[in-house]
Structure 1
Amino acid sequence: MSTNVATIDDERTYEDIYAQGVIVDPEPGVDHNVRIREVKKSFGSFDVLTGLNLNFPDNAITTVLGPSGTGKSVLLKHIVGLLEPDSGLVEVFGQDLWRINDKDRQEIRKRMGILFQDGALFGSMNIYDNVAFPLRKHTHKREAEIRKIVMGHLDEVGLTKAISKFPGEVSGGMKKRAGFARALVLNPSVVMFDEPDSGLDPVRTSLLNDLILRMHAEHGGTYVLVTHDIRTARKVSDYVGVVWKGKLIHYGDTEEAFNSDMPFVRQFLSGDSVGPLGMD
């Protein structure tokens, strides 16, 4: 599976790309459950997304990279329908999220799962009840069926022995795995990860990456991952999009991204102090 990036004129400099961004044109025959087109979002005088274009291929893991404050997490909130763009199109499952009513938007959300940075578990619920929560809230399944689904996903993430523990009693890595299990219980077509490796040591980050790859291989779906961790991006990604100053400036398969000649992409992925990205 591949996607074509809109052709860049030979005379167009990298500075022009940084200023204008690029548009990813989907290849015919490749499905995209999530499409973002010219999305802009500001908070007061702070422009976060400044014309972002990106389509996410189905049944693939796409990682969005970029410096802090460049709009990656805000992008996820737009996809899940928690933020409305100032302008532009957010299309999920063929529907513009902001041209449908609240009820229909809520139905679309049920087809998406999200793993937040800290797992976002309810502190007053044990691990089992946290994972069961979406099923109890959004379905009419009986408890016996809920238990079968929940225990199946907890087994996948290695938490069957921790079902009675509360979030305050488990490690950060266990919270992430519980959050991942909860994100999967409604069998979503789109799963989003907001800095899943945040706060984890390198070994547990690698183990979480293995889990993401294994779950995607087993369940399929469109996985959208936001991270700062370059090792995570290299390990799990089918495609990599690089965002700077609220625009997409590079998109391609993982090998292409890590072999890019674009100064910003090369600097960011190598962690070099010399390049367009500074402290400002």
Structure 2
Amino acid sequence: MSHAQLTRDDETRSYEDIYANGIIADHDPGVTHSVNIKNVKKSFGSFDVLTGLNIDFADDSITTVLGPSGTGKSVLLKHIVGLLEPDSGVVEVFGQDIWRVSPKERQEIRKRFGVLFQDGALFGSMNIYDNVAFPLRKHTDKRESEIRQIVMDRLEEVGLTRAVSKFPGEVSGGMKKRAGFARALVLNPSVVMFDEPDSGLDPVRTSLLNDLILKVHAEHGGTYVLVTHDIRTARKVSDYVGVVWKGKLIHYGETEEAFNSDMPFVRQFLSGDSVGPLGMD
């Protein structure tokens, strides 16, 4: 098997077993993983969200995680950045189980992450410049002149140098996303997480945001993890695609392998077909 990919001639496990138990990603020789999720389970009351999820994200690559609403994709991201503690299982980041270190050590690990939330999560009382500068002012001892250089460089990358004085309520949804992206990058993170970055954007602006993600990744590298429902985004930006269903990883492999999969659920979800195991319930 190539990178955690279940192929057509894999006869060791039935599709029913995969749906019930998920898959465990195999490591390719020479591929390093900064983020490793091992049999993670998480419930909220009686609602089981993650039911034994295993996934390793290849470094210096873009991985997209797809799946129906409510299947645990965003909850997975919150586990990776240490905002949610699993009921069981291991969240290993940069070689450390983040729930077996001190809160101070966990906070230091978080500084190596950048996160772009659905709506940009900008502070409404701050202009674009101050929003992007916020992590540098909070987490570093840099002089204001140094902060300005970093912030303006990042804003130039995302095409927002003319919007530095505007407030979030004065700019478009696409500009908020780009500002959130710039803020996610100011601490030069090793891992960047995108929680539905294309949410609320029209197809053209989604495509432009995808171009920006590819451009910045090509320039700076890093491990990028995207959660999205947009199949076009997954096809355009991804090196790897993971598919989550019912709280488990049921497919993980290179992008074209995912789109050529003959697993009924994967094929149905990526094609948007109404016929298959996924229904309205």
Q: TM-score range by the shorter chain?
A: over 0.9
CA distance in 1, matches of 2:131, 2:145: 16
User: Which string of whole-angstrom CA distances, capped at 9 and with x for unpartnered residues, describes residues 106-142 of structure 1?
Assistant: 0000000000000000000000000000000000000
Query: Which residue is 1:59 aligned to?
Result: 60
Contact 2:6 2:251 in 1 (8 A): no
User: Which string of whole-angstrom CA distances, capped at 9 and with x for unpartnered residues, describes residues 203-228 of structure 1?
Assistant: 00000000000000001000000000
TM-score by length of 1: 0.98
- Letter of the 2:196 partner, please give it: E
Partner SS for 2:11: coil
Query: Which residue is 2:45 aligned to?
Result: 44
CA distance in 1, matches of 2:186, 2:34: 19
**Identity %, equivalent residues:** 85
- Letter of the 2:125 partner, please give it: S
Query: Which residue is 1:29 aligned to?
Result: 30
Query: Which residue is 1:185 aligned to?
Result: 186
- 1:251 and 2:256 are equivalent in the alignment: no
- Of 12-21 and 254-263, the range deviating more from structure 2: 12-21
Contact 1:6 1:24 in 2 (8 A): no
Shift of 1:194: 0.1
- Letter of the 2:121 partner, please give it: A
CA distance in 2, matches of 1:184, 1:22: 32
- 1:276 and 2:277 are equivalent in the alignment: yes
Partner SS for 1:3: coil
Query: Which residue is 1:149 aligned to?
Result: 150
Shift of 1:13: 2.1
Query: Which residue is 2:264 aligned to?
Result: 263
What is the RMSD of the two structures over their aligned residues, measured on CA atoms? Answer: 1.2
Alignment of 1:51-90 (within 5 A): 51-90=52-91
Shift of 1:26: 1.1
Contact 1:6 1:25 in 2 (8 A): no
- 1:220 and 2:221 are equivalent in the alignment: yes
Query: Which residue is 2:108 aligned to?
Result: 107
Partner SS for 2:33: coil
Contact 1:6 1:23 in 2 (8 A): no
TM-score by length of 2: 0.97
CA distance in 1, matches of 2:12, 2:154: 52
Shift of 1:9: 6.1
- Letter of the 1:259 partner, please give it: N
CA distance in 2, matches of 1:11, 1:153: 48
CA distance in 1, matches of 2:107, 2:158: 27
